[in-house]
Amino acid sequence: MEYAFVLEKLILVTVIFLITLGIAAYSTLAERKIAGFIQGRVGPHRAGPWGMFQPLADGGKMFFKEEIIPAESNRFLFIAGPSLALLTASIGSAVIPWGRALTIGGRTIELQVTDINVGLLYIFGVVSLGVYGIMIGGWASNNKYSLMGAIRAASQNISYEIAMGLSIIALLMVTGTLSLKGIAAQQDGFWADGWFTWNVFKQPLSFLIFIVCAFAECNRTPFDLPESENELVAGYHTEYSGFKLGAFLFAEYINMFVSSAVMSTLYFGGYNFPFMHDLGLSENVVAILGVLALFAKIFFFIFFFMWIRWTIPRFRYDQLMNLGWKTLIPLAIANIVITGIWMTVKDLI
C-alpha cells in the first residue's frame, strides 16, 4: 500500500515535471509564432512542419554555445543563480490540483502532488524565492550593470508582491481556506445559488490586481524592465552565456506556466467546467475532462501573456513604481474593506 502511494506520487511528479518543461519549451515557439501572426508574419517555420522542432534547435544552440564565466566573478554563486531561478520556478507546480480524484480499481488517486493546507502561502514563498536567483545572478557577475539590473528586478518583484498578497486576502475572505484543493472544490460547476461559482465573478477587482501583479512577477511586458531586451541589453543576465542564460530564460517561461495555472485555479474554477455534473458521465471521465479544461484555461492565460506582450509598450520605471505603490496597493486594501463590509451586510440581511 505504501509502496503504491510512493509510486503513484513519483509518476505524478515526473509527469507534471515533464509537462511543465514541455509547455515551457513550446511556449518559446508559441511566443514567436504569435508575435509573427500579430505583426503580419508567419514566425519560425523552417525547422520541421510549422517550426515544430524550433525549441529543440534553440535548446541545442544554447548547449553548444561557449560558456563564459567572468574571471573576477564568484564561481559558485554564478552557477547557483540560474540554478535557483530554474528550481524555484519548477517547484511551484507541486500544490496545484490538476483534476478531481480518479478512481482506478477501488483506489483513489489524487491528481495533486501534495495538498498542504497553506498551499497558497507555499506558492507565494516559492515565487518570492525566485527573486534570489535573479539577485544572486546579478551580484555574482561582478559587473555593475548586471547588479543594477538585478536591483531593478528585485525592487520590482518585491513591490508587486505586496499588492499581490493584498489582492489574495480579499479572495481568502470569500473562500476561507488557503488550500488550493479546497479553493478549486468550492468553484464546483459554473452556476450555483443564483450566482457564478468561479471566483473571478465574486472578486473581479482582486483578479485584476492579481493578473497585473502576475505580469510584473514574471517580468513580462509591460513590466519587463529587468530585461528590456532592446535598451538595457538584458539587465541582470548580461554576463551569462550558453546554457546558464538558457536557464534564466527558460525559468521565465516556467514561471509563466505556473502563474497561469495558479490564476486558473484561484479565479477561473481550476479543473471545473460548466455543466460538468449534468452530462451524465462517470466520475473518471469528468475528472479527465476537468484536467483538459484546466489546461485549456492555462493555455488561454499563456496566450494572454503573449498577446499583452505584443500590444502594450513597456512602462517607465517611475510609472512602474507609481502603479505598484500608489494604485494597486490602495486598490487592494479598498477591495479588502469593501469585501469585508459586503460580507457583514450580507449576513445581516
Partner 1 sequence: MSFSERIYLPSILKGLAITFKHIFKKRETIFYPEQERPVSENWRGLHSLKRDEKGRERCTACGLCALACPAEAITMVAAERKKGEEGLYREEKYAAVYEINMLRCIFCGLCEEACPKEAIYLDGPIVEADYLRKDFIFGKDKLVEAPLKS
Binding site for partner 1 (CB under 8 A): 34, 36-42, 307-308, 310-312
Torsion-angle region of 189 (φ positive above 0: left; ψ -120 to 50: alpha; else: beta): left
Contact status, residue 13 vs residue 114, Cβ threshold 8 Å = no
42 or 56: whose CB is closer to partner 1?
42
Instruction: Report the run of H or E that residue 99 belongs to, with start and end.
Output: strand 99-104
**Minimum CB separation from partner 1 for residue 217, in Å?**
19
What is the spatial distance between Cα 10 and Cα 23, in angstroms, rounded to a whole number? Answer: 20
**Minimum CB separation from partner 1 for residue 312, in Å?**
6
243 or 303: whose CB is closer to partner 1?
303
Grid cell at residue 247? 536557464
**Minimum CB separation from partner 1 for residue 36, in Å?**
8
307 or 317: whose CB is closer to partner 1?
307
Amino acid identity of 230? N
**Minimum CB separation from partner 1 for residue 181, in Å?**
32
312 or 341: whose CB is closer to partner 1?
312
Amino acid identity of 342? W
103 or 319: whose CB is closer to partner 1?
319
What is the spatial distance between Cα 240 and Cα 70, in angstroms, rounded to a whole number? Answer: 9
What is the spatial distance between Cα 282 and Cα 239, in angstroms, rounded to a whole number? Answer: 55
**Minimum CB separation from partner 1 for residue 69, in Å?**
31
Grid cell at residue 24? 515551457
